[in-house]
Amino acid sequence: PDMMSEQLRQTTCPYCGVGCGVDISCNVSKRATTLDTVKGTPEHPANFGRLCVKGTNLLETNDLNGRLLHPTMAGQSVDWDTATDLIADKITSTIAQYGADAVAFYVSGQLLTEDYYIANKLMKGYIGSANIDTNSRLCMSSAVAAYKRAFGEDVVPCDYSDLECTDLLVITGSNTAWAHPVLFQRIQRAKLKNPDMKVIVVDPRKTETCTIADLHLPLKPGSDVALFNGLLSYANAQGCIDKSVVESYAEGLEETLKSANALSLDDVAEVCDLDINSIKAFFDAFCKASSAITFYSMGVNQSSAGVDKAQAIINCHLAMDLIAKDGCGPFSITGQPNAMGGREVGGLANMLAAHMDLENPKHISTVKTYWNAPVMPKGQGLKAVDLFNAIEEGKVKFVWIMGTNPVVSMPNRGQVERALSKCDMVVVSDIVESNDTLNYAHIALPATGWSEKDGTVTNSERRISRQRGILPPPGSAKHDWQILCEVAGKMGFGEAFSFTHPSQIFVEYAGLTGYQNDGKRQLDLSPLQALNEAQYNGLSPLQWPFHTVIKAENTASSNSQPSLTSKRPFEDKRFSTPSGKAKLIPVTYKAPLQVTSDAYPFVVNSGRARDQWHTMTRTGKAAKLLAHMPSANVHINPKDAAAMGVENGDLVSLSSAVCKDAPVIYPVKMDTDMRKGEVFIPIHWSAQWGSHSKLGALYDSAVDPISGQPELKHAAVAIAPV
Ligand code: SF4
């Protein structure tokens, strides 16, 4: 008889960057494994047993309906050999004819670290281009650039436990209650325990997050730099900056203060469209706090001044000595489950693996030697928006999109569609058989999904957790790293890509983080490079940087775990810059690039709904999740709706300079929480949902000049009743 047993498997939620541990109870027999229930892992330090509604409904979204199960070409199933032969041949011939930079990968924060590492190794070390960018470019690349400029390394200097010992939490550009619900619950508990803790929300919209706020500043979209520069100037005037202390660990204070002083308090109020009393209440709370955290997310990052906004926040923390100690710091909260793991392995076109830089010849040579790579990129690759431009211009002839749906998520949808329809070869690896991007695929490859994928992810607080494969891959689906290794093998690089288990990839990556590390880089996972497969499989959540390391017994069969104690990054106030000092950087307020005009008088803001994830290819399956917000609406201030003569449920068309002739259409939801002249649309719904929901079509290609992150919080549109 096929005996059934109940087993518990521990893995990680595949949605947001909180990175909650989940316990799956499974029914296992010789013939099949089925997933029975899902609960939060009680001992996981990211969530201590809690899950939000998306995590709780994980199993409802995990069926095989709509799964891509076999490679296809022009809609016909083909075998793997045919598909990977064609891909390898096309990459090789494209390099020979047009050079390595005519090849590109566009990957995703949904990939596991091991997938990301292999994609980067193949592109940067063996194809010889840095044309690998990721949807994380749309998510947190501004935060990365600001951390690197300030600290010399992309390091988030706080963790979730800091919430439990802070006087003041400023939440700016984040609807944490909906986008990071388990973290929001943690904030609620911290505030209950410590009634003196203040929470200030800075957001143009009055969101659910404001329910916990002592003060809400509904600032004008895009004006954050003016607000935080105003804070810096005010703190200086109030004598809250101890220059000798700051200068012991940071450079650039005087120039930064000078630049911050350029706007008076009245100017700040005018630029931010806030009343002076609210601004002063915020500034006073910050100046009085002996500890303070500033949370920031997409409202800061998705901007043509995203890096400057993050920098203005970091400047305040550095200048007021609210950094590298308990309950303090500028805390960028990542949107995706593994945006951080991608950052660590160099998943962006302007990064090299293990926090090394493409501009640094020593780093290039370190990685080249470690990988035994035949060729390395000559400089940075194309960032997402530039990449799709280059495809449209015919400079990039081959693109491989993995685990992301750029036709929906990128700005300037029309341009992305034109680019993909012109490209010589578009390969898409995905778990679904149809979405807006797959319409343009010459070859579609079936990848594994959450319950099958096996590897690691890193959450917003630098904590590495195992995502464990519980179910076997369905149909002929394969792991992303496996598909990449097969193609690499067919291109003649089999030796460097001969991995048969994700543990082998992880230990190679861990070794690279320690290889010729001069001790300044905080990302050093080298104590993990000796893990065997059993130890990797049993790995408990770990947070870098490590303080003390007790090596595990390392026999081939041992699954004993290394004992690693985490330390606070930069706890000795020595940073990863050449001088060891952090950098304050003068920044000045600049208005958004997509400016309103008489023709396009409304600002479009966008963001997440509570119960949906990205383009809904998974969460859209669960009736319980759809119930919270069954369809996308455009949220409009009732006064604007009245002026247009529309009411709840009426259809309106929205057009911008880049989609004049193809407006997008949404039903109206009147919303008193919107500022006049501004509307909000949730990001998730796409044309696939049978509507004119093409939000991305409204945005032009405006990006931050440093990070390349698109300005997805600020399009200028005209709105008219349909
Ligand atoms: Fe946790 Fe985020 Fe998953 Fe919700 S979506 S369970 S907060 S990781």
The ipTM (two decimal places) reads 1.00
What pLDDT does residue 554 have? 56
Ligand 1 centre from 21 Cα, in Å? Answer: 9
**Half-sphere exposure (Cβ direction) of 130: Cα atoms closer than 13 Å:** 22
Tokens matching residue 714: 């600020």
| Amino acid identity for residue 19 in this structure | G
Whether omega before 545 lies within 30 degrees of 0, making that bond cis, reads: yes
Indicate the pTM of the whole model: 0.97
Q: Counting Cβ atoms within 10 Å, is residue 559 exposed (0-12), middle (13-18) or buried (19+)?
A: middle
Nearest to 14 by CA among 445, 451, 612: 451
Q: Is the CB of 463 under 6 A from ligand 1?
A: no
**What percentage of the chain has pLDDT greater than the value 70?**
98
Taking the C-alpha atoms of residue 348 and residue 410, their distance in angstroms, rounded to an integer, is: 16
Q: Is the CB of 446 under 6 A from ligand 1?
A: no
What pLDDT does residue 615 have? 86
Tokens matching residue 462: 């630098």
| Amino acid identity for residue 77 in this structure | S
471-499 confidence digits (pLDDT tens): 999 999 999 999 999 999 999 999 999 99
Taking the C-alpha atoms of residue 279 and residue 587, their distance in angstroms, rounded to an integer, is: 19
Ligand 1 centre from 466 Cα, in Å? Answer: 15
Ligand 1 centre from 180 Cα, in Å? Answer: 7
Mutation probe of ligand 1 site: the residue of 11, 20, 110 with most atoms within 8 A of C-beta: 20
Mutation probe of ligand 1 site: the residue of 54, 460, 461, 616 with most atoms within 8 A of C-beta: 54
Q: Which atom of ligand 1 is nearest to the CA of 22?
A: 6
Output the CA–CA distances (angstroms, integers) from residue 436 to 389, 408, 410, 621, 688, in the order listed: 19, 7, 12, 16, 6
Mean per-residue pLDDT for 9-16? 96
What pLDDT does residue 693 have? 74
- Tokens 């969460």 belong to residue: 619
Indicate whether 336 pLDDT > 90: no
Indicate whether 50 pLDDT > 60: yes
Helix (H) or strand (E) holding 56: helix 53-56
Ligand 1 centre from 182 Cα, in Å? Answer: 6
Q: Which atom of ligand 1 is nearest to the CA of 15?
A: 5
Q: What are phi and psi for residue 245, nearest 5 degrees?
A: -65, -50
Residue with CA at minimum distance from ligand 1 atom 1: 20
Q: Is the CB of 450 under 6 A from ligand 1?
A: no
Helix (H) or strand (E) holding 93: helix 80-98
For 509-544, letters b (16+ CB in 10 Å) and e give: bbbbbbbebeeebbbbbbbbbebbbbbbbebbbbbb
Q: Is the CB of 19 under 6 A from ligand 1?
A: yes
Number of other CB atoms surrounding residue 8 within 10 Å: 11
Q: Which atom of ligand 1 is nearest to the CA of 47?
A: 1
Mutation probe of ligand 1 site: the residue of 47, 174, 465 with most atoms within 8 A of C-beta: 47
What pLDDT does residue 557 have? 58
Question: Is 309 within 8 Å of 224 (Cβ atoms)?
Answer: yes
Please give the distance of CA 188 from its chain centroid, rounded to a whole number. 24
Q: Which atom of ligand 1 is nearest to the CA of 12?
A: 8
Mean per-residue pLDDT for 268-285? 98
300-317 confidence digits (pLDDT tens): 999 999 999 999 999 999
Taking the C-alpha atoms of residue 208 and residue 54, their distance in angstroms, rounded to an integer, is: 17
Question: Do the strands 664-670 and 634-636 form a parallel or antiparallel pair, or are they unpaired?
Answer: parallel
Q: Which atom of ligand 1 is nearest to the CA of 181?
A: 7
Residue with more model confidence, 2 or 391: 391
The alpha carbon dihedral of 570, 572, 573, 576 has a sign of negative
**What are the residue ranges of helices labelled H in 550-597?**
none
Ligand 1 centre from 114 Cα, in Å? Answer: 21
Indicate whether 23 pLDDT > 60: yes
Taking the C-alpha atoms of residue 428 and residue 446, their distance in angstroms, rounded to an integer, is: 9
Output the CA–CA distances (angstroms, integers) from residue 645 to 32, 412, 650, 671, in the order listed: 58, 29, 10, 15
541-549 long-range contacts (CB < 8 A, ≥24 apart) are 541/21, 541/44, 541/45, 541/46, 541/463, 541/464, 541/465, 541/466, 542/463, 542/464, 542/566, 543/45, 543/159, 543/461, 543/462, 543/463, 543/464, 544/462, 544/464, 545/462, 545/569
Q: Is the CB of 182 under 6 A from ligand 1?
A: yes
Please give the distance of CA 369 from its chain centroid, rounded to a whole number. 30
Q: Is the CB of 218 under 6 A from ligand 1?
A: no
Q: Which residues contact 208 (CB under 8 A, 6 or more apart)?
A: 175, 177, 178, 610
Tokens matching residue 187: 């904030």
Question: Is 391 within 8 Å of 422 (Cβ atoms)?
Answer: yes
Number of other CB atoms surrounding residue 392 within 10 Å: 18
Taking the C-alpha atoms of residue 287 and residue 239, their distance in angstroms, rounded to an integer, is: 9
Q: Is the CB of 13 under 6 A from ligand 1?
A: yes
511-545 confidence digits (pLDDT tens): 999 999 888 899 999 999 999 999 999 999 999 99
Residue with more model confidence, 340 or 255: 255
Q: Is the CB of 625 under 6 A from ligand 1?
A: no
Supply the DSSP string of 666-687, one letter for each residue: EEEEE-TTSPTTEEEEES---G
Q: Is the CB of 52 under 6 A from ligand 1?
A: yes
Taking the C-alpha atoms of residue 656 and residue 648, their distance in angstroms, rounded to an integer, is: 23
Taking the C-alpha atoms of residue 682 and residue 295, their distance in angstroms, rounded to an integer, is: 21
Q: Which residues contact 195 (CB under 8 A, 6 or more apart)?
A: none
Residue with CA at minimum distance from ligand 1 atom 4: 52
Ligand 1 centre from 179 Cα, in Å? Answer: 9
Order of strands across the sheet that contains 455-458 = 455-458, 463-467, 542-543
365-424 confidence digits (pLDDT tens): 999 999 999 999 999 999 999 999 999 999 999 999 999 999 999 999 999 999 999 999
Q: Is the CB of 15 under 6 A from ligand 1?
A: yes
What pLDDT does residue 553 have? 56
Q: How confident is the model at residue 637 (pLDDT cuts 50, 70, 90)?
A: very high
Mean per-residue pLDDT for 432-437? 93
442-474 confidence digits (pLDDT tens): 999 999 999 999 999 999 999 999 999 999 999
Angle between the N-to-C axes of helices 113-120 and 480-488, in degrees from 0 to 180, rounded to the nearest 10: 20
Ligand 1 centre from 395 Cα, in Å? Answer: 39
What pLDDT does residue 564 have? 85
Tokens matching residue 14: 């595949």
- SS3 for 199-246 is EEEECCCCCHHHHHCCEEECCCCCCHHHHHHHHHHHHHHCCCCCHHHH
Tokens matching residue 645: 């003569």
Ligand 1 centre from 138 Cα, in Å? Answer: 20
Q: Is the CB of 20 under 6 A from ligand 1?
A: yes
Ligand 1 centre from 204 Cα, in Å? Answer: 25
Residue with CA at minimum distance from ligand 1 atom 2: 16
Domains recognised in the chain with CATH numbers: 5-61 (3.30.200.210), 72-130+338-459+463-513 (3.40.50.740), 141-335+575-583 (3.40.228.10), 602-701 (2.40.40.20)
Ligand 1 centre from 622 Cα, in Å? Answer: 16
Q: Which atom of ligand 1 is nearest to the CA of 46?
A: 1
Question: Do the strands 198-202 and 168-172 form a parallel or antiparallel pair, or are they unpaired?
Answer: parallel
Taking the C-alpha atoms of residue 234 and residue 459, their distance in angstroms, rounded to an integer, is: 34
Ligand 1 centre from 61 Cα, in Å? Answer: 14
Ligand 1 centre from 173 Cα, in Å? Answer: 19
What average pLDDT is seen over the chain? 95
Q: Which atom of ligand 1 is nearest to the CA of 56?
A: 6
Ligand 1 centre from 20 Cα, in Å? Answer: 6
Question: Is 54 within 8 Å of 13 (Cβ atoms)?
Answer: yes
Ligand 1 centre from 36 Cα, in Å? Answer: 19
Output the CA–CA distances (angstroms, integers) from residue 672 to 254, 602, 637, in the order listed: 43, 16, 5
Q: Is the CB of 221 under 6 A from ligand 1?
A: no
Taking the CA atoms of residue 627, residue 628, residue 632 and residue 633 in that order, the dihedral angle to the nearest 10 degrees is: 120
- The DSSP letter of residue 489 is I
Angle made by CA atoms 159, 161, 585, in degrees to the nearest 5: 35
Number of other CB atoms surrounding residue 373 within 10 Å: 17
Collapsing DSSP states into helix, strand and coil, what is residue 419? helix
